[in-house]
C-alpha cells in the first residue's frame, strides 16, 4: 500500500492564518467554526479531499482551533460548527486516504480524531464552552460523528440533508470515531433503530431524525440560522466563562528536531533506535512561577506549567506518528520537587480562574493521551529528579517504574536521593478516561492501600517509602540500576509490539468503563481488527473497491 | 493454514464415560475434577496435546462436566479442579493447534472457553457450588486462566510449580481467556506487577505469588491435600445447595442433522445457504408443564423449559463452529403464549428450589451466548407465535425485529394476530453480561419508556401496542411482510460479516461494563486483532516459529 504519510514527518503545528480547511469567526460570545475543505490540501497527493472529507491534516487544524478557542478566547461561551460547502456539512474521513494508508497510520489517525472529539466534549462539560453542530447539509460517517461530539445537533430540514453512518454497508469498516458508542450511550438511540440507521446508506433526515433522537431539532432553511443562533445564545447564557478577559495567545512552539533528538524548552526527547526507546526528560521550573491566575495569564505560553503541557503534547503526537518503531517511552525529570509543587499551587489557589482551569484541563488531556498511547511507558525516578504532583502522574501513568534506592555512588557530589511527592494534584486534578484518578486506578479494589498512599501526600518519599506505599515497581540501588533498567528495556524491545499493545490496553483501564474508555477499547479494538481484515482492506475489499465500479468480494465466514 | 476443524462437524455432546481428558470424582459434598489430557486425543491430528495442553475437544468435556456437576449433583457444594499429570496443573491452549487453526476457529474457540470459565464463576456466585483451583504443578497461560475462573487459587509450594501468563513474551498473543482482565479486575493485582508477571516466561511461585495476590495460599506437598480439603470443606459449609436431593441426569440430546436442517424436539433450525440464514423455530409447550420444583425434577430432561434451553444451547454451538458462513440467525416461535407463561411460572413459584434455580440460570447463560454470538439476530413475531416471558427475551435479544400487524390474509382460518407478552421473567431472571436485563438495556438512558414498557407486563400486546411500547422495530402488515423481511435478510447477507460483527458487538452492550463484558469486548477484540497480525500468525510470527528453534521476526511498528 502506498503511504507517504509515514515518510514525511507530520507536523502538528499550525495557525488560523495558515488554515486551508477551516475558518474561525468570533462574534461576541459565539464562535462559528466553518469547514470548507480544500480538495487539493491533503497530506498525501494520491487523493482529493472532495465534499468536505478529511484526512489527518484537516483534523490537525480542527485540533488547533479547539485549543485556540479555549485559550485565546475566554469570551467564547458557545461554538457552532458548520459546513461551508453547498448542501454539505461533512462527508467524514476520506476513503482513498484510508485505502492508501498503512495500518498504523489508520489506527493513529483514528486515535487522534477521537481525542479531538473527546476534547470537544471536555470543553462542553468542564470549560463552559458548549459545542453545537449546525448541520446545514449532509453529515455522513465521520461528519455525523463530529456532530455527535457536540452537545446539540441541529439539522436543516430541506428534504435532502441527512445524517448517516454508511461505513458498514459502503466501506465494510465501522464508524470508528465514537459513532457507534455515542449513538447508543450518549444519545440513547434504541439499539435496533441504531442498527437500522447504521446499515442505511442514505441515512435519516427530517422528523424521523428527531424521532430517533439522532438530532435534537430541525428547521427549514428559512429559519435554520435563527434556530442555531437561538440555541447558541441560550447555551452561552449559562456559561461561567468570563465576559471580558484577555486570552492567552498560543505562540508557536520552539523546537529543535534532529535525527534522534527533539528539544523544546522544558521537554527533551532522545531516541535510541537500537533499544527502541524515546527518553523524555522534563525539566522542572527554573524560575519563580506565577502564584495567581492573572499572573499565569501574564506569563502566557512562557509559564512552566502551560509550556510543559504544550511541549509534552507535541512530543507525544510527533512520536506516535513519526517514530512508529520506537516502542518504549521512558520518562525522566530533572529539577526541584519544591519548584514543581509551587508551580502547580496556582491550581489550588484559584481553581475557578478560567485560565488556571484551562491549563489544568489541558494537563488532564495530555496525560490521557499517554494512557491510550500504544507504547510501553517506563518511568525512572533518579536522584536529582522532581516527581512531585503533576509530574508524579508520570510515575502513576507508567506500565513499570524504577526508583533508585540511595544515590549515585560514583559522583563526587551526588545529588540527594530520589523522592516522590504526592500532592493535591494526584487526588483529582487529572482524572483518567475511566473517571478515576491514576492513584485510585492503581489501588483499584484495595481501599486500605489507597487510603494509606493518599495519606502520604505532601511528604517526600524516598525509595523505601515509595516501595512500601506501592507507588513504584522496583527500587534497585546504584549497583544494579543500569543492568536492571537496560535488561527491562532490551526485553521489552524483543517482544511483539502488537501483543504489548493489547496487554497494556487491558491493564491500564481497570474498574469502571465510561463512554470514553468504551470508545478506546470496545470500539477501537474492533475497528483495528476490521482494519486488518481482507473484507475491508484486501485487494477485493470494500475500501479498495470503493468508487471503482466493481463491488467488493466478501469472505462470508463469521467469527 | 491447515484446518480440518471446520471440515469435520464438531460435536459438543459427550459423557463422563467417554471423557478422554477429565475425570469427575464425587465424595460427599466435594467433587474433584482432574485434568489428565490424552496427548493423542486432539480434535485434529496435526498436534499432540502434551503436558495438559488443551484444544476445543478438551474444553467440550470441561463444559460437559460443569453442566453435570450443576444438574446431576445437587449435593456437590464445592468443586476442586486439579491436574492429573506429574508436576503439571495445565499448560493452556495447545500452541500447534492455535498455529494451525483458521482465524474464525481461534476466535470461536476462545469465545467458548471464555463462556465455560464464566459459567464456573456463575456456579460459584449463584449456584452454591464454589470452584477451587488446586494448582498442584505448573499452571501456564490458559492453565492459570482456568485457575483464575475459580474463586480460590491454592498453589503447591515445591520450588518448581509456578503460575504464569507467558503468552506475550513467548507467543506474541494475549492471555485471552479472561487472564488479563481477571488479574487486575478480579484479583486486584497492581497493574505494574501484573505487567511484570505477564512478561515473565517463568511466572511467579511461592510466597511472591501470594504477595502479588496471584494465588490465595500456598502449601508444601506434604500438607497441600490438607489445605485443599480444608478450603473445600469450608466453602461447602456455607452453600445453600440441598444435602439430600436426587439430581437430574443429562440424557443425550436427540437430534436429527441433515444438510440444511437440525431438528431437536422443541427447537428446529433450517439453513438457507443462498440467504445466509439459519431459522430457529421454537415450539412452545404442547403438554401441561410441572408447577413445582419436585415435579420439574421428575420431568427431568423432558420438561419443556429445560429441554428447550438444552436444545437452543446445542444449536447455537453447532452453528457457531460448523456453519460459519451462515451470518444471520432468525428466531420464530410456534405455540401458545399461555402455555409458555404457565411453564415458566415454576420459576416464580419456587425460585430457591435448587433445580428451578439451575434451569433459570442455564437459560440466562444460553441467552448470554446469543448476546456474544457474531451473527446478526433477527426475530420474527408472527401469528401463531408464543413470544411470552422467557421466549420474549428472543425479541429483546434481536438486532432487528419484525412483528406482523394483523394476521395472514390468505389463510382460510388465520391464526389470531401475533402478540408479545412480558412477564416477571423479563424483569430480572436473565441478566445480560452487563448485569442489566435486556429490557433495561433496550431502554438505557430512557427511564420513562422503560417504566412504561415494564408496566405492560402480563398483557398480550398486538403489533400496534408493541410498537408503541418500543418492543419491536418494524410492524409490516401481510401485504408487505414477505418483501420487507426478505429485503432485510438479503441486504444483511450483502454486507461485510466483519463490519457487522463489530457493529453488533458495540450496539448490544450499552451502559455499564462488567468483568464479563470487558472480557468479551476490550480483551477479546484486542486478541482478535492480534490473531490477524503477522507478528503472531504470519510465517515468521511467534505462533508459527514456536518450537522450531528459530526466533520470530517482528515488525516493530507500533500502532
pLDDT one-digit tens code per residue, A505-535? 999 999 999 999 999 999 999 999 999 999 9
Q: Do A184 and B441 touch (CB under 8 A)?
A: no
Residue in A closest to B193 by C-alpha: A473
Residue in B closest to A378 by C-alpha: B192
pLDDT one-digit tens code per residue, B365-423? 999 999 999 999 999 999 999 999 999 999 999 999 999 999 998 888 888 899 999 99
What pLDDT does B355 receive? Answer: 98
Do A216 and A263 lie in one domain? The reply is: no
Q: In this model, does residue A261 exceed pLDDT 80?
A: yes
pLDDT one-digit tens code per residue, B439-492? 999 999 999 999 999 999 999 999 999 999 999 999 999 999 999 999 999 999
Cα angle A204, A205, A207; round to 5: 115
Q: Do B172 and A556 touch (CB under 8 A)?
A: no
Cell of A445: 479494589
Q: Tell if the pTM clears 0.80, that is, is over it.
A: yes
Q: Do A559 and B199 touch (CB under 8 A)?
A: no
Q: Which of B397, B439, B393 is nearest to B420 (CA)?
A: B393
Q: Quick one: CA dihedral B9, B12, B13, B18, positive or negative?
A: positive
What pLDDT does B7 receive? Answer: 58
3-state SS string over B407-421?
CCCCCCCCCCCCCEE
Cell of B96: 500447534
Residues of chain A found within 8 Å of residue B1, distances taken between Cβ atoms: none
Asked if ipTM goes beyond 0.85, one says yes
Q: Do A325 and B195 touch (CB under 8 A)?
A: no
Q: Which of A454, A336, A478 is nearest to A403 (CA)?
A: A478
For residues B35-54, give the mean pLDDT. 97
Q: Do A558 and B374 touch (CB under 8 A)?
A: yes
Q: How far apart, in whole angstroms, are the C-alpha atoms of residue A73 and residue A245?
A: 8
What pLDDT does A49 receive? Answer: 98
Q: Do A199 and B507 touch (CB under 8 A)?
A: no
**Does residue B120 fall inside a structural domain?**
yes
Do B319 and B467 lie in one domain? The reply is: yes
Nearest to A169 among B181, B444, B495 (CB): B495
Do B375 and B405 lie in one domain? The reply is: yes
Do B224 and B262 lie in one domain? The reply is: no
DSSP letter (8 states) at residue B485: H
Nearest to B174 among A446, A503, A554 (CB): A503
Q: Do A506 and B496 touch (CB under 8 A)?
A: no
Do B159 and B285 lie in one domain? The reply is: no
Nearest to A554 among B183, B496, B555 (CB): B496
**Does residue B245 fall inside a structural domain?**
no
Do B371 and B288 lie in one domain? The reply is: yes
Q: Do B526 and A505 touch (CB under 8 A)?
A: yes
**Does residue B540 fall inside a structural domain?**
no
Residues of chain B found within 8 Å of residue A523, distances taken between Cβ atoms: 506
Q: Are B166 and B113 in contact (CB under 8 A)?
A: no
Q: Do A559 and B470 touch (CB under 8 A)?
A: no
Nearest to B325 among A185, A194, A556 (CB): A556
How many other CB atoms sit within 10 Å of the CB of residue B455? 11
Q: Do A325 and B505 touch (CB under 8 A)?
A: no
Residues of chain A found within 8 Å of residue B394, distances taken between Cβ atoms: none
Q: Do A535 and B559 touch (CB under 8 A)?
A: no
What pLDDT does A1 receive? Answer: 33
Q: Do B169 and A536 touch (CB under 8 A)?
A: no
Q: Are B84 and B23 in contact (CB under 8 A)?
A: yes
Q: How far apart, in whole angstroms, are the C-alpha atoms of residue A224 and residue A87?
A: 13
Do A110 and A169 lie in one domain? The reply is: yes
Residues of chain B found within 8 Å of residue A493, distances taken between Cβ atoms: 556
Q: In this model, does residue A4 exceed pLDDT 70?
A: no
Nearest to B559 among A198, A501, A523 (CB): A501
Q: Which residues pair with B329 in a beta bridge?
A: B278, B377
pLDDT one-digit tens code per residue, B503-533? 999 999 999 999 999 999 999 999 999 999 9
Percent of chain A with pLDDT strictly greater than 90: 96
pLDDT averaged over every residue in chain A:
96
Nearest to A198 among B198, B374, B503 (CB): B503
Q: Quick one: CA dihedral B442, B445, B451, B453, positive or negative?
A: negative
Q: Do B188 and A444 touch (CB under 8 A)?
A: yes
Count Cα atoms within 13 angstroms, Cβ side, for A171.
24
CB burial readout B304-325, b (16+ within 10 A) else e: bbbbbbbbbbbbbbbbbbbbbe
Burial class (CB in 10 A: 0-12, 13-18, 19+), A456: middle
**Does residue A242 fall inside a structural domain?**
no
What pLDDT does B4 receive? Answer: 38
Q: How far apart, in whole angstroms, are the C-alpha atoms of residue A523 and residue B507?
A: 10
Pairing mode of beta strands B277-283, B267-272: antiparallel
Do A91 and A206 lie in one domain? The reply is: yes
Q: pLDDT band at A97, cuts 50/70/90?
A: very high
Nearest to A327 among B441, B536, B558 (CB): B558
From the candidates A496, A518, A540, which should be mutated to test the interface with B, based on the most B CB atoms within 10 A? A496
Q: How far apart, in whole angstroms, are the C-alpha atoms of residue B337 and residue A474?
A: 64
Q: In this model, does residue A5 exceed pLDDT 90?
A: no
User: What is the extent of the structural domain holding B401?
Assistant: 257-508
Residue in B closest to A535 by C-alpha: B496
Q: Which residue has the cell 505562540?
A: A251
Nearest to B554 among A374, A400, A496 (CB): A496
Q: In this model, does residue A463 exceed pLDDT 50?
A: yes
Residues 6+ apart with CB under 8 A from A47: A55, A94, A96, A97, A100
Residues of chain B found within 8 Å of residue A504, distances taken between Cβ atoms: 195
Q: Which residues pair with B155 in a beta bridge?
A: B135, B218
Residues of chain A found within 8 Å of residue B172, distances taken between Cβ atoms: 495-496, 498-499
Q: Quick one: CA dihedral B546, B519, A325, A177, positive or negative?
A: positive
Q: Do B557 and A509 touch (CB under 8 A)?
A: no
Q: Do A192 and B401 touch (CB under 8 A)?
A: yes
Nearest to B536 among A168, A496, A507 (CB): A496
Q: Where are the beta strands (DSSP E) in B423-557?
A: none
Q: Do A511 and B441 touch (CB under 8 A)?
A: no
Domain's final residue, options A174, A206, A237: A237
Across the A:B interface, residue pairs with CB atoms under 8 Å apart total 276
Q: Do B195 and A521 touch (CB under 8 A)?
A: no
Radius of gyration of chain A (CA): 24
From the candidates A502, A517, A519, A522, which should be mutated to test the interface with B, based on the most B CB atoms within 10 A? A502
Cell of A435: 473517571
**Does residue B159 fall inside a structural domain?**
yes
Integer CA distances (angstroms), B372 to B365, B506, B516, in order: 11, 11, 11
**Does residue A84 fall inside a structural domain?**
yes
Domain's final residue, options B491, B508, B525: B508
What pLDDT does B280 receive? Answer: 98
The whole-angstrom distance between A84's CA and the closest CA on chain B is 31
Residues of chain B found within 8 Å of residue A108, distances taken between Cβ atoms: 559
**Does residue B128 fall inside a structural domain?**
yes
**Does residue B323 fall inside a structural domain?**
yes
Q: How far apart, in whole angstroms, are the C-alpha atoms of residue B377 and residue B396?
A: 10
Nearest to A532 among B375, B491, B529 (CB): B529
Q: How far apart, in whole angstroms, are the C-alpha atoms of residue A313 and residue A12?
A: 10
CATH number of B135's domain: 3.90.226.10
Cα angle B402, B403, B408; round to 5: 120
Residues of chain B found within 8 Å of residue A540, distances taken between Cβ atoms: none
Residues of chain A found within 8 Å of residue B380, distances taken between Cβ atoms: none
Radius of gyration of chain B (CA): 24
3-state secondary structure of B3: coil
Pairing mode of beta strands A130-135, A138-140: unpaired
Do B179 and B261 lie in one domain? The reply is: no
Q: Do B527 and A399 touch (CB under 8 A)?
A: no
CB burial readout A232-269, b (16+ within 10 A) else e: beebbeebebeeebebbebeebebeeeeeebbbbbbbb
What pLDDT does A203 receive? Answer: 98
From the candidates B329, B381, B399, B526, which should be mutated to test the interface with A, based on the most A CB atoms within 10 A? B526
pLDDT one-digit tens code per residue, B292-330? 999 999 999 999 999 999 999 999 999 999 999 999 999
Do B24 and B158 lie in one domain? The reply is: yes
- H/E run at residue B196: helix B191-198
Do A285 and A331 lie in one domain? The reply is: yes
Residues of chain B found within 8 Å of residue A555, distances taken between Cβ atoms: 497
Q: How far apart, in whole angstroms, are the C-alpha atoms of residue A185 and residue A515?
A: 7
Q: Do B107 and A559 touch (CB under 8 A)?
A: yes
Q: How far apart, in whole angstroms, are the C-alpha atoms of residue B364 and residue A153?
A: 39
Do A316 and A377 lie in one domain? The reply is: yes
Domain's final residue, options B203, B237, B271: B237
From the candidates B192, B201, B435, B520, which should be mutated to test the interface with A, based on the most A CB atoms within 10 A? B192
Residues 6+ apart with CB under 8 A from A19: A61, A64, A65
From the candidates B446, B492, B529, which should be mutated to test the interface with A, based on the most A CB atoms within 10 A? B529
pLDDT one-digit tens code per residue, A239-257? 999 998 999 999 999 999 9
Residues of chain B found within 8 Å of residue A554, distances taken between Cβ atoms: 495-497
Q: pLDDT band at A555, cuts 50/70/90?
A: very high
Q: Do B501 and A526 touch (CB under 8 A)?
A: yes
The whole-angstrom distance between B327's CA and the closest CA on chain A is 6
In chain A, the number of structural domains is 2
DSSP code string of A190-233: -HHHHHHHHT-TT-EEHHHHHHTTSSSEEE-HHHHHHHHHHHHH
What pLDDT does B394 receive? Answer: 98
Nearest to A495 among B104, B168, B276 (CB): B168
- H/E run at residue A26: strand A22-27
Amino acid at each position: 500500500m502506498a503511504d507517504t504519510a509515514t515518510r514525511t514527518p507530520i507536523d502538528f503545528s499550525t495557525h488560523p492564518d495558515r488554515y486551508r480547511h477551516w475558518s474561525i469567526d468570533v462574534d461576541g460570545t459565539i464562535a462559528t467554526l466553518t469547514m470548507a475543505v480544500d480538495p487539493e490540501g491533503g497530506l498525501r497527493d494520491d487523493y482529493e479531499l472532495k465534499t468536505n472529507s478529511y484526512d489527518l491534516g484537516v483534523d490537525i487544524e480542527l485540533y488547533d482551533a479547539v485549543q485556540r478557542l479555549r485559550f485565546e478566547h475566554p469570551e467564547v461561551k458557545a461554538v457552532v460548527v458548520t459546513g461551508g460547502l453547498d448542501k454539505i456539512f461533512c462527508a467524514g474521513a476520506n476513503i482513498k486516504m484510508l485505502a492508501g494508508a498503512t495500518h498504523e497510520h489508520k489506527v493513529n489517525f483514528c486515535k487522534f480524531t477521537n481525542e479531538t472529539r473527546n476534547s470537544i466534549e471536555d470543553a462542553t462539560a468542564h470549560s463552559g464552552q458548549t459545542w453545537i453542530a449546525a448541520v446545514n447539509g449532509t453529515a455522513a460517517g465521520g461528519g455525523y460523528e463530529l456532530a455527535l461530539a457536540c452537545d446539540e445537533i441541529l439539522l436543516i430540514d430541506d428534504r435532502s440533508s441527512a445524517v448517516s453512518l454508511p461505513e458498514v454497508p459502503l466501506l465494510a469498516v465501522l464508524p470508528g470515531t465514537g459513532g457507534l458508542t455515542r449513538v447508543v450511550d450518549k444519545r440513547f438511540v434504541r439499539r435496533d433503530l441504531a442498527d437500522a440507521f447504521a446499515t442505511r446508506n442514505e441515512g435519516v433526515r427530517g422528523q424521523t431524525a428527531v424521532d430517533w433522537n439522532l438530532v435534537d431539532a430541525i428547521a427549514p432553511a428559512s429559519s435554520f440560522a435563527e434556530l442555531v443562533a437561538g440555541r447558541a445564545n441560550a447555551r452561552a447564557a449559562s456559561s461561567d466563562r468570563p465576559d471580558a478577559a484577555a486570552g492567552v495567545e498560543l505562540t508557536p512552539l520552539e523546537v529543535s528536531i534532529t535525527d534522534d533528538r527533539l528539544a523544546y524548552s522544558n521537554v527533551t526527547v532522545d531516541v535510541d533506535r537500537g533499544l527502541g526507546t524515546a527518553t523524555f526528560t522534563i525539566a522542572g521550573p527554573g524560575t519563580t512561577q506565577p502564584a495567581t491566575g492573572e499572573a499565569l495569564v501574564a506569563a502566557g505560553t512562557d509559564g512552566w506549567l502551560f509550556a510543559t503541557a504544550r511541549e509534552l503534547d507535541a512530543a507525544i503526537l510527533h512520536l506516535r506518528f513519526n517514530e512508529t518503531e520506537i516502542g518504549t517511552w521512558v520518562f525522566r525529570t530533572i529539577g526541584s520537587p519544591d519548584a514543581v509543587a509551587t508551580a502547580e499551587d496556582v491550581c489550588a489557589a484559584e481553581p475557578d480562574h478560567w485560565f488556571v482551569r484551562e491549563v489544568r484541563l489541558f494537563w488532564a488531556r495530555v496525560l490521557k493521551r499517554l494512557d491510550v498511547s500504544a507504547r510501553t511507558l517506563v518511568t525512572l525516578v533518579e536522584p536529582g529528579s522532581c516527581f512531585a504532583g503533576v509530574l508524579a502522574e508520570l510515575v502513576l501513568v507508567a506500565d513499570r517504574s524504577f526508583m533508585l534506592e540511595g544515590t549515585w555512588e560514583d559522583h563526587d557530589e551526588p545529588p540527594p536521593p530520589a523522592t516522590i511527592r504526592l500532592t493535591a494534584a494526584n487526588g483529582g486534578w487529572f482524572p483518567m478516561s475511566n473517571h478515576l484518578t491514576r492513584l485510585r486506578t492503581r489501588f483499584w479494589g484495595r481501599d486500605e492501600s489507597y487510603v494509606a498512599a493518599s495519606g502520604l501526600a505532601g511528604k517526600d518519599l524516598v525509595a523505601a517509602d515509595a516501595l512500601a506505599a506501592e507507588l513504584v515497581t522496583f527500587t534497585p540501588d546504584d549497583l544494579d540500576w543500569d543492568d536492571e533498567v537496560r535488561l527491562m528495556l532490551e526485553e521489552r524491545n524483543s517482544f511483539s509490539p502488537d501483543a504489548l499493545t493489547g496487554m497494556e490496553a487491558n491493564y491500564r483501564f481497570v474498574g469502571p468503563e465510561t463512554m470514553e474508555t468504551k470508545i478506546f477499547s470496545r470500539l477501537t479494538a474492533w475497528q483495528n481488527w476490521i482494519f486488518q481484515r481482507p473484507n475491508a482492506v484486501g485487494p477485493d475489499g470494500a475500501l479498495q473497491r470503493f468508487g471503482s465500479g466493481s463491488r467488493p468480494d466478501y469472505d462470508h465466514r463469521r467469527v
